[in-house]
Structure 1
Amino acid sequence: MLGHLSTAVFPIFAIGALGFLLGKMRTFDVTAAFAINKFVMLVCMPALCIEFLALAPIKHFDFLLLFGYFLSEIILFLIGLFISKYIFRLSNTEAILIGLALALTNHVLFVLPIADEIFGASNTLTIVSIITMDGLLIFSLTLIAMDILSNSNRPFFVTIKAIITNPPLIGILVGLVISLNNLELPSGFLFFLEKMGGTATPALLFSLGIMLSYQDKIAPTKLIVSMTTIKLILHPILAWLLIAFLFGGSYPANHSTALMVAAAPSGVMAYMLAMNYNVTVDRISPIILYTSIGSLITVSLAATM
């Protein structure tokens, strides 16, 4: 187990640590972090969405399992939103993104490689289905909400234009159309999508490391501790309860990897959106950092269930 974890965990911490180190050395500054983030948002994410959805075997997904897991994400999202907004008095946009940080996990770069090592690529359909659902529902709906909030003082048509021209949303739509129509993409185009999409998460982790190096305080506050605890402890418990209930009272053994996803750290999508919508990352970045550290324990436990 430790060997499997180190295979997936070390690259994550190494990429972020490299960004942190080069940020401390002032080789990269905040402006560079914003530029990297913009590149990911406008170029890499659309490519990743198209590739992943185009290749996703949607007809083989267990939609009852996905419904149960989706419910757990919605509950986590609402808890994060409520606590951030009404207890810690944060802005609407930051509260939404903290809710997103609780709902979405780092499943592409963290959980999927671990599951591949432990169970084999043929046994990761559950994780692939959750990633697909998250892109189609959680991520896309959050993008729409952020476009609406960021254009709240502008004419309605400006908001609509922002939504329909949002690159990741376009990527999600294109990928879904390709998948539902069983279209076969040219190998050269798939290679392009694979390489462009594959840079998204590493680039975001590097950018996150830079931003953390410029933050005066990354020590765990009450908000950060509470969000980290909710994400790493409440989420897997809640997912287990909801899925077991939907399956007649017992958790389905063939979907054990879903608990690994629930026990994983907060994904970097919340950080990416915060940077692109000019929302402070002073709290979102440490949440991602501390859930990444804590998930070494929670993912290990979930993998044995």
Structure 2
Amino acid sequence: MLDQLLNGVLPVFGIGAVGYVLGLRGTFDFNMAMALNKFVMFVAMPALGFQLLAHAPLAEFDQAMLAGYFVTEVLMYTAGFLIARLVFKTDVMEAALLGLAIALTNHILFVLPIAITLFGEDAVTPIVAIISMDGMLIFSGSLILMDVLATKDASLGHTIGKVVRNPPLVAMTLGLAIGVMGVSVPVGIDVFMDFLGGAASPVLLFALGIILSQKASGSRPMLPVAITGVKLVVHPLLAWAIFAGVLHLSPEVRNPAMMVAAAPCGVMAFMLALNYGVRVDAIARAILYSSIGSLVTVTVAAAL
């Protein structure tokens, strides 16, 4: 277990820590973090989404595992939304993103590089399957929801036009179409997308560290604690009950998926909050608390 912590979890976690330290020192500030976030949203994330879906081994995905994991995501999304909206009285957009933070874990930026480091690329197909499903369903659906909520006073045509021009959505749609058709991506485009997509994880984690270093509002201190508890305790237990108790999945499929369920709150919710002007203090703190807690939960899941 110590090997998983030292050689897989901590190196990735350390990127955000570097951003936090440099933010505290004033080397980077909130506006700089916003610029980094926009780069990820409009450049790096579309490239990463395209790469993942264009090269995803769709035929190798375990459909039962994906169905079971999707059930956990729907339940966690609902729980996060209701806790934020009914208990802590947040607005609808913030509640939706707090639900997303629980459902859409930090797999693509945190779990995947850890799993590849520890087990190699051949052993992470279940994680790639979940990432692909999340890109097509959870993340895309959340982008559409945020566009609709952000333009609720606009005409239907304007809202639809904004949705269909959303860079991550366009890129993931193209990547999925290429993956389904089995079309080979030209080498030059592949290298270009791979190079850009590789920047998404470290840049966004670094920007998150900067945001977390800024002085936070003292209100609603229990909201991120509640979200973290649901993410790191309820979600893994629910996933284990479905994977082991209901579906009886093999360890080769179950354990990588458990790493995803045990991962911290998703950074994508933070990125969307910044992009749509939603309050970020609770989301950022939930990501911080769950990232620290996941040093234990992800390490345990990796050692199963």
- Once the two structures are TM-superposed, the CA of residue 304 in structure 1 deviates from its matched residue by 3.3
CA contact (8 A) 2:8 2:118 kept: no
Alpha-carbon distance in structure 2 between the residues aligned to 1:241 and 1:149: 35
CA contact (8 A) 2:17 2:209 kept: yes
Residues 1:289 and 2:288 are matched in the alignment: yes
The farther-off stretch of 175-184 and 11-20 is 11-20
Name the aligned partner's letter for residue 187 of structure 1. Answer: V
Aligned to 1:17: 17
Residues 1:252 and 2:250 are matched in the alignment: yes
Aligned to 1:111: 111
Name the aligned partner's letter for residue 32 of structure 1. Answer: M
Name the aligned partner's letter for residue 170 of structure 2. Answer: I
Deviations 1:117-173 (A, max 9, x none): 443322211111011111111100000000000000111111111100000000110
The farther-off stretch of 230-239 and 219-228 is 219-228
Three-state SS of the structure 2 residue aligned to 1:283 is: helix
Aligned to 1:221: 221
Aligned to 2:300: 301
CA contact (8 A) 2:236 2:261 kept: yes
The farther-off stretch of 89-98 and 105-114 is 105-114
Three-state SS of the structure 1 residue aligned to 2:281 is: coil
Aligned to 1:274: 273
Aligned to 1:6: 6
The farther-off stretch of 100-109 and 77-86 is 100-109
CA contact (8 A) 1:218 1:286 kept: no
Residues 1:80 and 2:80 are matched in the alignment: yes
Unaligned stretches of 5+ in structure 2? none
CA contact (8 A) 1:4 1:117 kept: no
Alpha-carbon distance in structure 2 between the residues aligned to 1:120 and 1:220: 41
Alpha-carbon distance in structure 2 between the residues aligned to 1:228 and 1:179: 35
Alpha-carbon distance in structure 1 between the residues aligned to 2:37 and 2:189: 23
Deviations 1:212-231 (A, max 9, x none): 22223589922111111110
- Once the two structures are TM-superposed, the CA of residue 8 in structure 1 deviates from its matched residue by 3.0
- Once the two structures are TM-superposed, the CA of residue 303 in structure 1 deviates from its matched residue by 2.4
Aligned to 2:125: 125
Residues 1:175 and 2:175 are matched in the alignment: yes
Alpha-carbon distance in structure 1 between the residues aligned to 2:153 and 2:96: 18
Aligned to 2:163: 163
Alpha-carbon distance in structure 1 between the residues aligned to 2:118 and 2:18: 27
Closer, same or farther in 2 for the Cα pair 1:218/1:193, shift >3 Å?
Answer: farther
Closer, same or farther in 2 for the Cα pair 1:105/1:152, shift >3 Å?
Answer: same
Name the aligned partner's letter for residue 280 of structure 1. Answer: R
Deviations 1:224-264 (A, max 9, x none): 111111101111111122234552xx343221211111001
Closer, same or farther in 2 for the Cα pair 1:155/1:303, shift >3 Å?
Answer: same
The farther-off stretch of 2-11 and 198-207 is 2-11
Alpha-carbon distance in structure 2 between the residues aligned to 1:285 and 1:109: 15
CA contact (8 A) 1:220 1:286 kept: no
Alpha-carbon distance in structure 2 between the residues aligned to 1:267 and 1:88: 20
Q: State the TM-score, normalized to the length of structure 1.
A: 0.94
CA contact (8 A) 2:13 2:110 kept: no
CA contact (8 A) 1:201 1:268 kept: no
- Once the two structures are TM-superposed, the CA of residue 210 in structure 1 deviates from its matched residue by 1.5
Matches within 5 A, 1:142-153: 142-153=142-153
Q: State the TM-score, normalized to the length of structure 2.
A: 0.94
Q: CA RMSD in A?
A: 1.7
Name the aligned partner's letter for residue 210 of structure 1. Answer: I
Alpha-carbon distance in structure 2 between the residues aligned to 1:301 and 1:10: 14
- Once the two structures are TM-superposed, the CA of residue 82 in structure 1 deviates from its matched residue by 0.5
Unaligned stretches of 5+ in structure 1? none
Alpha-carbon distance in structure 2 between the residues aligned to 1:117 and 1:171: 27
Alpha-carbon distance in structure 2 between the residues aligned to 1:275 and 1:288: 14
Three-state SS of the structure 1 residue aligned to 2:203 is: helix
Name the aligned partner's letter for residue 71 of structure 1. Answer: V
CA contact (8 A) 2:102 2:265 kept: yes
Matches within 5 A, 1:35-74: 35-74=35-74
CA contact (8 A) 2:12 2:113 kept: no
